[in-house]
Amino acid sequence: MTHQQVIDTYCEVYIGRDSRIPVVRLQPRGANKKCPLLSGDRCLIHAKNPYLKPTVCALFPIGRVMAAESAPEEMGLGFPFEIQYIMNGATCGSARRKQTVRKWLGDFNIPIDDPFFIKWNDTAFKLITAVQQYEGKSGVTDRAMDMMWSGIFQSLYTDYDTNQEFYPQFENNTAKILGIFSTLEKHEFNLSS
């Protein structure tokens, strides 16, 4: 499936309440709000290849966040950061089995200082800052905002060739969309037309 087909089939898309950028998330289904990738109690992805899992599933019950030493205004590529891992309450599995976060991540080939997670957060922060600069600004039309959101959505979520390596495409896409916002800012384009 293409990225767009996966989104159309299994996800919902909305503008984040706080972030104000497009968000794609798996759309829970049924009265129990189950993951759309479950068939009964079995994961459709994991069933096809037991070594593959969506990262969020592979991490569970661990969560992760970016913590920066600098104030948010100073954040950017190269900011002092730290990925912090959080243990969520889990009611499955054996309490007798003990494992380190490093070992857990290693089992799923997720680097502890995951470059994609870092790049994603850096890009998201820059896009959030850029969009919030324009949204609600006098003279910025709804059409202009829709075009911004569409460009961000395509760059982050759909403009990928599934026959090519993902990460280089992601880096290229983020450089393009951030470049567009940089050009807007430098030239103070009139977004009211």
Any idea where the domains of the chain sit in the sequence? 119-187
Q: How far apart are CA 150 and CA 21, in angstroms?
A: 10
Residue 190, pLDDT score: 54
- Summarize the confidence of residues 162-186 as an average pLDDT: 91
Give residue-wise pLDDT tens across range 142-165: 898 999 999 999 999 999 999 999
The reported pTM is 0.80
Contacts of 158 (CB under 8 A, 6+ apart): 2, 3, 4, 7
